[in-house]
Structure 1
Amino acid sequence: MALDFTFTEEHDELRATIRAFLAEHSDELAVRAQMATERGYDPEVWTLLAEQLGLAGLIIPEVHGGAGMGYVELLIAMEEMGRALLCAPYLGTAVLATNALVACADAATQKDLLVQIAAGRAIVSLAHAEPNGRWDLAGITLRARAKGDGFELDGTKTWVLDGHVANALLVAARTDDGLGLFRVDARAEGLSRALIPSLDTTRKLATVELAATPAKLVSRGDQTANLERALALTTCALAAEQVGGAQRCLEMATDYAKTRLQFGRPIGSYQAIKHKCADMLVTVEFAKSAAYAACFAAANDAPDLLEAAALAKAYCSEAFFKVAAENIQVHGGMGFTWEHPAHLYFKRSKASDLLFGDAAHHRERLADSIGI
């Protein structure tokens, strides 16, 4: 399916607005301050994102208080957030949980939670991955147990985005009808949550323990296909974020190569550095093509969305990691220091590579999907 990757003047204005906002509220000092906290984000900045820019509800339908926009607009937002290393529960709440709610949840749950997310009043996390190390839905073994008019859950969910601070959890579990989506209140009996020490402290992940925890089934029938789509859409958004981070690393490297003098001339004039920066540029541009193709496919409800998402995640994961590593090399000894921001992007690149499955995982999914 041929897609037109054209941005309008409104898209350019949206990008400029978000970039200006992040320059003020997510500079390096702000990132370092929030990554050192257990919560991992600034509630005041999150409120501003929701109330002033409407970004928390960017892809939430207008009927539920959102902006009702699509994946082209989300692409722009995620690219800029990745560029700024924004510390916020955006990917987990405004993207992943929102997609799961729109795809799977009943009308009452959507009306309740989507309205709160759009207003910036609730952090909602989807818990689907388990300690078996699998990211695909076939790896879900947790089974809901009927009790009275509701259900109970016993088991462990891991790598839950912002799960330690979420006001509500959406837990994927097996039922007699297939895969179901359950709502668990943050104060529910038998629920315990713990922050996972991770390489990338700019994005918080948690382990969720459920012990006879009461849960409400908020979906009907088997939700495997709907959750698969929700994860694919989120993967598209993550690829866009990776592109933003890679672009910033490229800019950092080229700016330094232009100003750092060695033997009386900029190091960028030497062939080794010149070729390295050129290779970084090519890698970033290819990553943009992959991420843009996936997000435009999502915006146009293309039939090959799952394939486009897998391709984008596979390529953008490796591209971001490569460019972040090369950025450190261009900066030389200074690039290895804690004081320089290069390592923050390097750590984000590796953590993002593993989130929702690494490049090899998504290449395998792509190969299975197209019958190779």
Structure 2
Amino acid sequence: MSARHHLLYSEEEEALRAAVRDLLTDHCDAAGVIARTESGTPHDRALWKRLTEGMGLAGLLVPEDLGGQGATHREAAVVLEELGRAVAPVPYLTSAVVATEALLAAGARDLLGELASGDTVGVLAVALNVAPHGAWRTVRLAGGALHGELTGIADAAAADVLLVPADDGGLYAVAAGAVTVTPQVSLDLTRPVATVVLDGAPGTRVGATGPAVRRALRAGAGLLASEQLGLADWCLTETVRHLKERRQFNRPVGGFQALKHRLARLWLEIAGLRAAARNAADALVGGADTDVAVTVAQAYAAPVAVRAAEEALQLHGGIGMTWEHPVHLYLKRAKADSIAYGTAGGHRAALAELVDLRAP
């Protein structure tokens, strides 16, 4: 049986995980991420450069003849697990997955090469909450220029180029310097959202909106589950470690039966999330039931990730409520991810349609 037909991690995937984790351990510490959220420049461009120039990770989904690595969604999923574990403030999901998938569907070869190198950050100008089966806003094309306003665009502040859907059915590449990007209040400061205003902005048509955006959002939703998996796994691991060290009544807090039961239940839920996330990543490589795999993963992932972060915050006690402890970063990312690319409830409704099990 080949690695493509089971959900276990291959040796190559584990080696990739180790390399990414080592890099993040050295260059993405929690204190640094917290400080960055307070700085007004949330994106870590130095870390992005190390991930892209040093390791070539921005081009994992891009074929080798276009300057990429020619890898698959399985490898990208491993990277996202590790980025989720570190709540890394880099535009990997938005640029290396979502924008890249849109360009692959459109066949925009030159721009794909730029995104694959990491020199250019691309962002699909569709609100972060839009699901693969949902509707998105478009801007108006008039006189060869684009006019309109789009809200909730994740990582727009880090973008060099925006992929903008227009009312003529086209997807247009627009230089970030040609638009106005205004930050919105974001719960998750490590993946901020913004409003993008186009006032006669020039754009280059790269393809048709429908197929490109649907493919991009499906990949985003499917691989987001791997980020949520990494986040939840960090929360469980750190909580177990803390409870082993913390003592109450002269015994480790982790020895109390009630807490053991809570942690055991969470471990089982994360094991289920791992299976769902791996299945979605594998299906995105090429499968007949890709839509089902993605909706199942997203229907399950958000509640587990949020609960893992909530448990981590509660079980860390007073220290968990402080700004200095990083658990608040994970709770905010988990809550923001729970509405990214569709809510769990929306995915359950979509799944009912896909498998013909609608509510009476």
| TM-score, normalised via structure 1 length | 0.90
* Distance apart, 1:214 and its partner CA: 2.5
Query: Is the 1:35–1:203 Cα contact (8 Å) retained in structure 2?
Result: no
**Are residue 296 (structure 1) and residue 296 (structure 2) matched?**
no
Partner of 2:160: 167
**Are residue 321 (structure 1) and residue 306 (structure 2) matched?**
yes
Query: Is the 2:164–2:173 Cα contact (8 Å) retained in structure 1?
Result: yes
Query: Is the 1:167–1:186 Cα contact (8 Å) retained in structure 2?
Result: yes
Q: 1:194 aligns with which of 170, 179, 182?
A: 182
* Distance apart, 1:368 and its partner CA: 1.8
Partner of 1:63: 65
Query: Is the 2:139–2:164 Cα contact (8 Å) retained in structure 1?
Result: no
Q: 1:140 aligns with which of 116, 120, 136?
A: 136
- After superposition, residues 42-53 of structure 1 pair within 5 angstroms as 42-53=44-55
| Separation in 2, partners of 1:72, 1:124 | 21
Q: 2:322 aligns with which of 337, 355, 359?
A: 337
- After superposition, residues 121-270 of structure 1 pair within 5 angstroms as 121-129=119-127, 135=131, 139-147=135-143, 151-175=144-168, 179-188=169-178, 191-220=179-208, 223-270=209-256
Root mean square deviation, CA, Å: 1.8
Q: 2:114 aligns with which of 113, 116, 119?
A: 116
Q: Which amino acid aligns with 2:352?
A: A
| Separation in 1, partners of 2:162, 2:211 | 20
* Distance apart, 1:277 and its partner CA: 0.8
* Distance apart, 1:298 and its partner CA: 1.0
Query: Is the 1:59–1:71 Cα contact (8 Å) retained in structure 2?
Result: yes
Query: Is the 2:101–2:219 Cα contact (8 Å) retained in structure 1?
Result: yes
| Separation in 2, partners of 1:88, 1:211 | 28
Show CA shifts across 1:21-54 (max 9, x none).
1100111122123222333222222111111111
Query: Is the 2:126–2:137 Cα contact (8 Å) retained in structure 1?
Result: no
Structure 1 residue ranges (4+ consecutive) displaced by more than 6 angstroms after TM superposition: none
| Separation in 1, partners of 2:11, 2:136 | 44
Which structure 2 segments of 5+ residues have no match?
none
Partner of 1:86: 88
Structure 1 SS opposite 2:182: strand
**Are residue 310 (structure 1) and residue 295 (structure 2) matched?**
yes
| Separation in 1, partners of 2:16, 2:119 | 23
| TM-score, normalised via structure 2 length | 0.93
- After superposition, residues 332-371 of structure 1 pair within 5 angstroms as 332-371=317-356
Partner of 2:29: 27
Partner of 2:272: 286
Which stretch shifts more, 113-122 or 304-313? 113-122
| Separation in 1, partners of 2:43, 2:163 | 21
